[in-house]
Chains A and B, each alone.
Chain A
Amino acid sequence: MTQYVVLSAILFTIGCIGVLTRRNAIVVFMCIELMLNAGNLALVAFAKQHGNLDGQIAAFFVMVVAAAEVVIGLAIIMTIFRTRRSASVDDASLLKY
């Protein structure tokens, strides 16, 4: 069972590095999805480890929240793209000033 958790940690780390290094907002979003999926894998693995289904329920809720988050996030990206003609996270810095 350890190997599943290690794989989950590796995927989470890759997603983390992706969020910090990539500049395209959509790719950043994909990396967030990758991190959520890695968390799900750990939850499902621990559900099997402990022999109850609470982990699977938690993974299910994570999926629902991820779906809602993607809908809103992509709508925000579309709105920013419409006004700024760019999907780069560096260009959406107007709130700073």
Chain B
Amino acid sequence: MAFWILAPIMVVAALGILFVRKAVHAALLLAVVMISLAVLYAVLEAPFLFAVQIIVYTGAILMLFLFVLMLVGVDASDSIVETIKGQRLMAIVLGLVFGAVLVTAFSQISLGTAVGLEEANTGGNIEQLANILFSRYVFAFEATSALLITAAVGAMVLAHRERLTPKETQAAMAAKRMRDYAESGKHPGPLPAPGVYARHNAVDTPALLPDGTASEASVSRVLAARGVMRSAPAMADDIEELQRQSGIDGAVLPGTSGKSGAAANTEASTGEDVK
């Protein structure tokens, strides 16, 4: 029963790996396939492999994939250019032929009734696996340890990068900041914080300088490059309408609403003075 629910999901997810453009989506689809596989292992009376599949494959290997995707860049998508002419078409045709041959061959044979693992699993699946692993396959197991150590050392060697320039110390950075200030007048202190206003408080709104202009340095360069910066004066445009809606008059409650309300207030007061 579990098989007939999971098999279509797995095939669809696996096909999705072929067609999605972004590698992150492929990784997530692969996670779907692997978790479904783990459930199938449980159905096939392999509880140890069920746990190992989830811990090692979905837990460790897929996380490693995702980490490398973060390092390499999430949007590293496929190139469309074919280096070998017709390679893609040939690959698909050959793959389909290969799959058709395999599937027809396996559908032709009849495996007979399954023996089942009740007898082999007596005393527990893990205990029986350990019995075999540490007796008949003990040399393979030892070789595996050598393989894992080699892999770990190899990964460290490959990922290691020699430091070419000396590490910049805090004192050197401070000296550089003061030198910049002396030479170009660049402010040595921290950057100004983004704007905090009554109706809007977010990192995408630049702070206002004393003369009313927006301070470019107060907003992250990433946001500026994306073009999602907001303007604080633009958000004050509808302040009078809002005051009318909420029934608060700028003249009655002076100072609640920033610049325009204050201006209206002074106007009103001067009018009264004239009267």
Chain A interface (Cβ < 8 Å from any Cβ of B): 1-7, 9-18, 20-24, 26-27, 29-31, 33-34, 37, 40-41, 44-45, 47-54, 56-57, 59-61, 63-72, 74-79, 81-82, 86-88, 90, 93
State whether B78 touches A24 (Cβ < 8 A). yes
Other CB < 8 Å A-B pairs besides A7-B7, A34-B33, 4 of them?
Answer: A26-B72, A48-B116, A65-B147, A88-B79
State whether A72 touches B158 (Cβ < 8 A). yes
Which residue of B23, B73, B81, B120 contacts A51 across the interface (Cβ within 8 Å)? B120
- Given A6-B106, A7-B7, A48-B114, A75:B26 Cβ within 8 A: no
Residues of B within 8 A of A18 (CB): 17-18
Task: Say whether B236 faces chain A, with CB atoms less than 8 Å apart.
Answer: no
State whether A13 touches B95 (Cβ < 8 A). yes
Which residue of A10, A26, A72 contacts B154 across the interface (Cβ within 8 Å)? A72
State whether B103 touches A9 (Cβ < 8 A). yes
State whether B30 touches A11 (Cβ < 8 A). no
Q: Residues of B within 8 Å of A, CB-based: how many?
A: 82
Residues of A within 8 A of B17 (CB): 14, 18, 27, 30-31, 34
Would you list which residues of chain B between 89 and 113 have a CB under 8 Å from chain A? 91-92, 94-96, 98-99, 102-103, 106-107, 109-111
Bound form: Cα–Cα A22–B79 in Å: 9
Bound form: Cα–Cα A27–B166 in Å: 37
CB distance from A39 to the nearest CB of B (A): 11
Residues of A within 8 A of B114 (CB): 1, 48-49, 51
Residues of B within 8 A of A6 (CB): 103, 106-107
